[in-house]
Amino acid sequence: MTKFITFILYWLLILPLGMIHRILGLKTLDFSWRNGAITYWERRDNSTATERYRKQV
Amino acid sequence: MEANTSSSNRKTNILGISAFYHDSAACLVQDGKIVAAAQEERFTRRKHDPNFPREAIAYCLSEAGITKDQIDYVAFYDKPLLKFERILKTFMAYAPKGFQSFSKAIPLWFDSKLFIKRTIEQELGFSVEVLFPEHHESHAMSAFFASPFQEAAVLTLDGVGEWATTSIAVGRGNKLDIISDIRFPHSLGLLYSAFTYYTGFKVNSGEYKVMGLAPYGRPIFKDLIYEHLIDVKEDGSFHLNMEYFDFPIESSMTNPRFHELFGAPPRKPESALTQREMDLARSVQEVTEEVVIKIAKHIRRETGMRNLCLAGGVALNCVANGRLLREGIFDDIWIQPAAGDAGGALGAALGVWYQYLGKPRVADGFNDAMQGSYLGPQFSQQEIQSYLDSEDIPYTVYSSETLYEKVAELLHHEKVIGWFQGRMEFGPRSLGARSIIGDPRSTEMQEKMNLKIKFRESFRPFAPSVLMEKVDEWFELKSPSPYMLLVAPVSKIHQREMSEEQQRLFGIEKLNVVRSDIPAVTHVDYSARVQTVHHATNPEYHKLLSTFEDQYGCPVIVNTSFNVRGEPPVCSPLDAYRCFMRTHMDFLVLGNCILDKSLQKPLANDLDWQKEFELD
């Protein structure tokens, strides 16, 4: 069953979504390399621990 | 935020867990104090065991004298759904490549990784509040909240957590804020692991070998790495050129383009090492050090903090740590001894106490909260003797007064000794509780220990334990290094100059040159991975070193982990005895008992023991 779900998930969801993202020029991963940016650091905004720790996302 | 307390006087028990990737571990924090911490591998005898840390949890609860239902909070060391999102997006980015890896990885997620709360509650047998700090936040909290500093900047570097691979945080009192990060797939840890793979070692455990191999090589590939593989900005931030790597979707780490760049396919594991691997190791090691130094300078400028804490797998690169200390960018640095994923369990639990429950934190500027990292199980003299008697094992009991003199004498006679005392260490280093020890003055000791005791590669260096009071007499180091996480040169007065002929030696030929008064712990570049021994945290080991110095004039001994290649360090007297009997160790010290190998009967039906452990 898991094998079947994995198969469906990949070929009917991951692959088409990945292709659509690429066609639309949307990034799922940042592959930028020597793109002229001054820095690669990304700033973080922290909410309070009580909010964050309860979530799994 | 109400705890399951039945009485207002009862202590708050927080269980920290890291699991399902590698090095699963558990930790128990009771009213802010670290009561117990251990890696699951020590109990299951499976190195880097990633499974749910059932036995480590059982140990933590027994050490604290509590039952499962007295746990108030469980802190898991990362956010599983965020990690799952990263994995799905990664496969989306590479599709249609990567289906094989996808079909291997995803069932594990459906099986357990997506249902951490349910798994934890099933294991514990009751419903409990489960909290999820981020992976790098857990690392950062393990470094800052356990450190001696009231205020510090924190740098965490590892392969990858959810998305972050490198993070900068600022800790003040009981608060820690991550201020910036670098995200997957750009990872200094994974760059190092790619070279670990390419030089024929196992990823996630062979990185130490690359570090140990580096001094034999020349940095001739450094320019190539900077030109093609990593773009580093002035502030230390970096991106990798992903055209050369396969690690996001394959276990092979590097791809044919990478192999073409360096002119050959990856070295086959266990095949002969050549100068090329040494040069590759040296090159990636130097790049790593330079990036770490640049980041450190940026952190100092950005945060203004005078102290720095470090955690994450890359923080176990003690050569880079030693260089960071010598550069003097920060007044002081402190590195979490369980810097890898196991330490995430500790950071998550401390985070719940300080950040989630808002409990006050006061650090004194000198003492950390790790208690020497001796946070694992211990066995009483009575338990040890009961075990030995039950197995009919011959031994001699010594009084506390005579034990140390006897062991010092054995060391002086170049005997290799298994040393098992007190509570087991938490983290990858053996620090004098579960150690194999020897005389560093011996010219034979390094080869003997590598080939006959540890059954590992002859190039690998051994670390010295030295009395804290004498560290600056023997090494160019003034700071404490209780967790063996700093590399420093052997003092000039103890170094021996090489002859012209010796200086002309190349690569591994350098190995057998005696280059100091303590050759067994002096690496080919005169460096040593120092552990300072402190009376306050390990009085038994301190006494042994003091006795060795009083009798033979040397406050240094060789200290390596009590295991053979591929085996986790020993935990119990049974593990210790088995390891002792399987190797060419001469004596075993279990508490106050000394066991002489020449008096032991061979283990029955144990000829195939080496198949038990997968080589690392």
Q: What is the DSSP string of B450-464?
A: IIIIS---TT---EE
Q: Specify which residues B176 forms β-bridges with.
A: B171
Residues B369-401: b if buried by 16+ CB within 10 A, e if exposed: bbbbbbbbbebeeeebbebbeeeebebeebeee
- pLDDT digits over B330-373, tens only? 999 999 999 999 999 999 999 999 999 999 999 999 999 999 99
Q: In B, residues 160-189, which contact A (CB 8 Å cutoff)?
A: 167-168, 177-186
pLDDT of residue B100: 92
Mean predicted confidence (pLDDT) in B114-136: 94
pLDDT at site A50: 77
Tell how strand B164-172 and strand B307-311 pair up.
unpaired
**Strand bridging mode B73-76 / B33-39:** unpaired
Task: Check whether B3 has a pLDDT greater than 50.
Answer: no
Across residues B51-57, what is the average pLDDT? 97
Confidence of residue B9 (pLDDT cuts 50, 70, 90): low
d(CA A40, CA B186) in angstroms, rounded, equals 10
User: What count of Cα atoms within 13 Å lies in the side-chain half-sphere of residue B193?
Assistant: 23
> Distance (Å, rounded) from C-alpha B570 to C-alpha B572?
6
Dist. CA B402–CA B592, nearest whole Å: 9
Would you tell me which residues 22-51 of chain B have a C-beta closer than 8 angstroms to some C-beta of chain A? Answer: none
Q: With helix as H, strand as E and coil as C, how does B587-616 read?
A: EEEECCEEEEHHHCCCCCCCCCHHHHCCCC
Predicted confidence (pLDDT) at residue B457 exceeds the cutoff of 60: yes
pLDDT in tens, B216-268: 999 999 999 999 999 999 999 999 999 999 999 988 899 999 999 999 999 99
The pLDDT of residue B467 is: 98
**Which member of A3, A29, A43 has the closest CB to residue B89?**
A29
- For B148-203, the three-class secondary structure string (H helix, E strand, C coil) is CCCEEEEEEECCCCCCEEEEEEEEECCEEEEEEEEECCCCHHHHHHHHHHHCCCCC
- Give the pLDDT confidence of B132-160 residue by residue, as tens digits: 999 999 999 999 999 999 999 999 999 99
Cα dist from B425 to B32, B56, B87, whole Å = 20, 13, 33
Residue pLDDT, tens place only, B37-49: 999 999 999 999 9
H helices of B428-484, where?
A: 445-448, 471-474
Position with higher pLDDT, B9 vs B20: B20
**Contact yes or no for B103 and A3 at CB 8 A:** yes
C-alpha to C-alpha distance for A57 and B179, rounded to whole angstroms = 18
Question: Looking at chain A, which residue has its C-alpha nearest residue B78?
Answer: A56
pLDDT (average), residues B479-491:
96
Place B4 in a pLDDT band, splitting at 50, 70 and 90: very low
Q: What is the pLDDT of residues B157-183, one digit of tens each?
A: 999 999 999 999 999 999 999 999 999
Of B185, B133, B85, B394, residue with least CA distance to A48: B133
- Whether the bond between B185 and the residue before it is cis, its omega within 30 degrees of 0, is yes
Written as six digits, the tokens of B78 are: 């990362």
Q: Which of A29, A40, A53 sits opposite B131 (nearest CB)?
A: A53
Minimum CA–CA partner of B117 in chain A? A56
Identify the helix (H) or strand (E) that includes residue B26.
strand B25-30
Q: How far is CA B230 from CA B224, B243, B290, in A?
A: 9, 11, 12
- The mean predicted confidence, pLDDT, of chain B is 94
What is the tens place of the pLDDT at every residue in B287-329?
999 999 999 999 999 999 999 999 999 999 999 999 999 999 9
Contacts of B132 in chain A (CB under 8 A): 53-56
Name the nearest CA neighbour of B138 among B74, B76, B77, B52.
Answer: B77
Residue B484 has pLDDT above 80, yes or no: yes
Give B130's pLDDT tier (boundaries 50, 70, 90): very high
In degrees, rounded to 5, the angle at the alpha carbon of residue B527 between the alpha carbons of residues B523 and B532 is: 110
Q: Which amino acid is at B370?
A: M
Smallest CA-to-CA distance from A11 within B92, B114, B249 is with B92
pTM: 0.95
pLDDT value of position B2: 41
Nearest-CA residue of chain B relative to A34? B231
| Lowest mean pLDDT across A2-16, B531-545, B582-596 | A2-16
Mean pLDDT across B416-422: 97
Please report, as a single letter, which amino acid is at residue B210.
V
Alpha carbon dihedral B579, B583, B588, B591, in 10-degree steps, equals: -20
Q: How far, in Å, CA of B295 to CA of B303, rounded?
A: 12
Note the pLDDT of residue B111: 85
Express each pLDDT in B504-560 by its tens digit: 887 777 778 899 999 999 999 999 999 999 999 999 999 999 999 999 999 999 999
Tell me which residues of chain B, numbers 129 to 158, contact chain A at a CB-CB cutoff of 8 Å: 131-134
Rounded to an integer, what distance in angstroms lies between the CA atom of residue B613 and that of residue B219?
34
Mean pLDDT, rounded, for B398-415: 96
Q: Given pLDDT bands bounded at 50, 70 and 90, which one contains residue B573? A: very high
Q: Which chain A residues touch B235 with a CB distance below 8 Å?
A: 39, 41
Name the residue of chain B whose CA is nearest to A10's CA: B99
Give φ, ψ of B238 to 5 degrees: -150, 155
DSSP B73-94: EEEESS-HHHHHHHHHHHHHHH
Q: Is the peptide bond before B96 cis (omega within 30 degrees of 0)?
A: yes
CB A10 to CB B91 under 8 A? yes
Kindly report, residue by residue over B459-472, the tens digit of the pLDDT. Answer: 888 999 999 999 99
Residue B614 has pLDDT above 60, yes or no: yes
Share of chain B above pLDDT 70, in %: 99
- ipTM of this model? 0.95
Instruction: Spell out the long-range contacts of B34-37 with Cβ–Cβ below 8 A and sequence spacing 24 or more.
Output: B34/B146, B34/B346, B34/B350, B34/B369, B34/B370, B34/B371, B34/B375, B35/B60, B35/B63, B35/B64, B35/B375, B36/B60, B36/B63, B36/B64, B36/B375, B36/B376, B37/B338, B37/B342, B37/B345, B37/B346, B37/B375, B37/B376, B37/B426
Across the range B572-588, mean pLDDT stands at 96
Which among A11, A40, A46 has CB closest to B233? A40
- Give me the pLDDT at residue B1, please: 43
> Measured between CB atoms, which of A14, A30, A39 is closest to B233?
A39
CB B38 within 8 A of CB B24: no
State the pLDDT at residue A39: 97
Q: What are phi and psi of B495, to 5 degrees?
A: -80, 150
